Structure 1
Amino acid sequence: MLHFRTEGFNGSAVKYSPFFDNRLAVAASANFGLVGNGRLYFLELTPNGIVPLKWYTTQDSLYDLAWSEIHENQVLTASGDGSIKLFDCTINEFPVQAWKEHSREVLSVHWNLVAKDRFCSSSWDGTVKIWSAQRKQSLLTLPTYSCTYSAAFSPHNPDILSCVTSDSHVRLFDLRAPDSASGHPAMIPIHGSTSAFVPGTLGSSAKQTIVPPSECLTHDWNKYRPSILATAGVDRTVRTFDIRAPQQGPLSVMPGHDYAIRKLAWSPHRSDLLLTASYDMTCRVWSDRSDMLVKDGDLMRTGPIGPTMGSELGRMGHHTEFVMGVDWCLFGSEGWCASVGWDESLLVWDVRAFVK
């Protein structure tokens, strides 16, 4: 396990470079993101451990980041002052570009993996915005009417965008459809009539717990199954959904964390594997047990007793404060990942060493 200390700054997000197997970026904030400066780190993995390539101190807290998909040295940041900034680690002057239309904190940024000239942002102001790096103004504003913690383009379709909000819904926007652009997206109730039930134990048909609606803090698209995404948040439970059947309820559920789940990420190497970071100071690796899901024609569905119970495969408990971010390495052996937390620590570790 490799360690780098973000001294004086509490980590909020980490991302591996999509271009280099030894490069990471970390977004961090002073005073736990409540007040004060932010800092963006460009870091490299070397035979001598993790070394800083460059860092930039910002006037306000940083809550998220995203590597550019068209320039190997550039990273977007989401700031507490409502701005989005683009940094280039080869240029001392910073930022190289900036945008500011959000009226509240920007909580997430995400680059389109297919149409690589676009990215999106989500904010506490109840909107998602679509941007081009070539324009000073946003291309489109999508209202959500609720604090929007996470927004992401589908990795399979450049015109499909999803977000999760404080009102316990996944919103799905098809940018080709006028209804989406006018604020009428497809919606999946995360804690709907079916989603509100969490099975007790695998194989148990009677023990279920009713979970009231709560804020959803994070979500991610499956890299291999185009219609599947996962959500998690304050209720400490991961759920997977098939967007082809929005009212069907979750395909699988994975309860187990002791406190809220702040970040989740599907594996880029396996379709059933995902990683979570939580306020309980652990990172956990899960299988959604998709091998137990049956096929009904072309539609994946749950069995007669409801959603499949996923399984926790292992956990890493080396952080000593809230774990805020986690990401998988795209290159090399399939288990390497990185995590950051409020303990001023970036850890790079192998998931396989913690699997039971």
Structure 2
Amino acid sequence: MASSMLEFRTPGFNPYAVKYSPYYDSRIAVASAANYGIVGNGRLFCLGLGPQGVQVEKMFDTNDAQYDLAWSEINESQLLVACGDGSIKLYDVNVNDFPVMNFHEHKRETFSVAWSPITKDTFASSSWDGTVKIWSPARKDSITTLPVGNCTYSTNYCPSNPNIISAVSTDSHLRVFDLRTPISAQYHLTVKIPVHHPPPVPLPPGIAPPAMPAEILTHDWNKYRDTVIATGGVDRVIRTFDIRNPAAGPTSLIMGHEYAIRRLAWSPHAADVLISGSYDMTVRLWTDGSTMESDGSSPIKRGVQLGVMNRHTEFVTGVDWCLFGVGGWVATVGWDERLLLWDANMILQGRL
């Protein structure tokens, strides 16, 4: 990857999500929708990176928009797509045209899918129907349904424990479920954090109190500190929380986006670094401040922007890190019908 930025276009389709393969640094997939996902079909692009740049290896069309995707953790050729008709489809890049499995219990749009990174034998989905569902790729019926009660934009597995699953939703709460608890105990709900609630400690200087509760659109678990979760959404603020002490409020506040934060992802290479994409058309690289000295005025750390990538010309809807290599390559997609691959280290050096 000698060039500082690679580009691939998705003509006629507006991307909603991008993911690097967990097996290969040269394989990447984009989930997209015609007409910005409002009406029309979806297209999954399975792409390869080679000497000629980004090339299509396979495309799969769906009857409805595609809002998210997840690579299988047990089969390097398979990946899931979350669809606007409530279905989740499992595709195999070696099988033409049709999904090898179809999972359809959600009553509204499926907006998020995540594959268990530990046991690798289940995946989770979340939907506008107010539920998170746990599935086995080997059976068409879900294993468990976790009620959230309102439109659930994002679900994820704890990176170190296959029984712990998180979700964020329109009601401004971060929920954490532990499947080891009795189902009678609130359907496995163990932590419920009101993200926009004023913290019980002083805010850092210059930071205003939280706005009214707003929709949370995205969240991610820290890969090195497995009790830390970052959230982002409509109020433009990234917050980190330690789920061991939910009453303490945010551990850091990260501000700078001008419109809603659509997607964020912690770095797999550094414990304090994350990337976010926004409706302000930018992708921003941050440190959450956890490695910096506190100024003593507040226990809440203030995140610092490390750089901005502003080559997208529409809403940025997807961001992902490459697991391999020197560490720093990221993929971003936006409604401008473009996938951009670039080295976040270039931002730090002021060369992007």
TM range (shorter): over 0.9
The SS at the match of 2:291 is helix
The SS at the match of 2:36 is helix
User: What is the Cα deviation at residue 192 of structure 1?
Assistant: 1.1
Distance 2:74 2:239 in 1: 32
Name the residue aligned to 2:318: 325
Distance 1:194 1:245 in 2: 12
User: Is 1:309 the equivalent of 2:302?
Assistant: yes
User: Is 1:262 the equivalent of 2:266?
Assistant: no
Amino acid at match of 1:274: L
Relative distance call for 1:106 and 1:207 in structure 2 (3 A) is closer
Name the residue aligned to 1:13: 17
CA contact (8 A) 1:175 1:181 kept: no
Distance 1:81 1:196 in 2: 44
Amino acid at match of 2:37: G
User: What is the Cα deviation at residue 196 of structure 1?
Assistant: 11
Distance 1:293 1:246 in 2: 23
Name the residue aligned to 1:212: 212
Name the residue aligned to 1:282: 282
CA contact (8 A) 1:198 1:210 kept: no
- Decide which of 78, 82, 95 is 2:86's aligned counterpart: 82
1:33-112 equivalences in 2 (<5 Å): 33-112=37-116
Name the residue aligned to 1:339: 332
User: What is the Cα deviation at residue 182 of structure 1?
Assistant: 2.1
Distance 1:52 1:345 in 2: 14
Structure 2 gaps, min length 5: none
Tell me the matched-pair count: 344
User: Is 1:191 the equivalent of 2:196?
Assistant: yes
User: What is the Cα deviation at residue 354 of structure 1?
Assistant: 1.4
Amino acid at match of 1:347: L
1:85-141 deviations in whole A, cap 9, x for unaligned? 000011114111001000000000000000111000000000000000111100000
Name the residue aligned to 1:351: 344
Relative distance call for 1:278 and 1:198 in structure 2 (3 A) is farther
- Decide which of 126, 140, 143 is 2:147's aligned counterpart: 143
Amino acid at match of 1:142: L
CA contact (8 A) 1:196 1:211 kept: no
Relative distance call for 1:121 and 1:346 in structure 2 (3 A) is same
Amino acid at match of 1:15: K
Amino acid at match of 1:187: K
1:193-245 deviations in whole A, cap 9, x for unaligned? 2189864xxxx3x6534422100000000000111110000000101000000
Distance 1:353 1:197 in 2: 36
Distance 2:207 2:152 in 1: 33
CA contact (8 A) 1:26 1:42 kept: yes
1:309-353 deviations in whole A, cap 9, x for unaligned? 000000100000000000000000211000001000000001111
After superposition, the CA RMSD in angstroms is: 1.7
Distance 1:348 1:239 in 2: 26
Distance 1:75 1:323 in 2: 22
Amino acid at match of 2:51: P
Name the residue aligned to 2:125: 121
CA contact (8 A) 1:338 1:347 kept: yes
The SS at the match of 1:164 is strand
Amino acid at match of 1:235: D
1:160-179 equivalences in 2 (<5 Å): 160-179=164-183
- Decide which of 161, 171, 182 is 2:187's aligned counterpart: 182
1:134-184 deviations in whole A, cap 9, x for unaligned? 111000000000110000010110100000011001001000001566264
1:55-103 deviations in whole A, cap 9, x for unaligned? 0111000000000000001010000000000000111141110010000
CA contact (8 A) 1:144 1:183 kept: no
CA contact (8 A) 2:178 2:189 kept: no
Distance 2:203 2:57 in 1: 45
Relative distance call for 1:45 and 1:197 in structure 2 (3 A) is farther
Name the residue aligned to 2:233: 233
Amino acid at match of 1:37: N
Relative distance call for 1:88 and 1:198 in structure 2 (3 A) is farther
Name the residue aligned to 1:250: 250
Name the residue aligned to 1:298: none
Amino acid at match of 1:351: A
Name the residue aligned to 1:27: 31
Relative distance call for 1:6 and 1:334 in structure 2 (3 A) is same
